Amino acid sequence: AQRVTQPEKLLSVFKGAPVELKCNYSYSGSPELFWYVQYSRQRLQLLLRHISRESIKGFTADLNKGETSFHLKKPFAQEEDSAMYYCALREGGSEKLVFGKGMKLTVNP
């Protein structure tokens, strides 16, 4: 069975500080990894996916198969980054997403 672990529930930083939101997964095959974000009073939306290898809103995430991790990073956090962040995994042959429990990021002025 696959599992997605986000070890920290809360992270509070000051504006301009670097942030790293950790995500580890357990899956024997080749997964697809995603980061979803939910801003206050908004719906859940895709932030980025590992297959695209792109930077969105200054965030990047690299899939490390050796460490089975997909940590989300941003060098300089902004107040508008405050939100709930969910790491998710999709295994080959399935359509479902398996989500971690989420992490609340607060960026203080």
List residues binding another protein (CB under 8 A).
Answer: 4, 9, 32, 34, 43-46, 49, 51-52, 86, 88, 90, 94-102
Residue closer to another protein (CB basis): 19 or 103: 103
Interior angle at CA 18, CA 7 and CA 59, nearest 5: 80
CA distances from 109 to 34, 59, 75, 77, 89 (A): 28, 19, 16, 10, 32
For residue 14, the minimal CB distance to another protein (Å) is: 26
For residue 22, the minimal CB distance to another protein (Å) is: 14
Q: Which two tokens stand for residue 21?
A: 């939101």
Residue closer to another protein (CB basis): 57 or 101: 101
Residue closer to another protein (CB basis): 32 or 82: 32
For residue 44, the minimal CB distance to another protein (Å) is: 4
Residue partners of 29: CB distance under 8 A and separation at least 6: 91, 92
State the virtual CA torsion across 85, 54, 15, 17 in degrees, nearest 10.
100
For residue 24, the minimal CB distance to another protein (Å) is: 14
Residue closer to another protein (CB basis): 31 or 77: 31
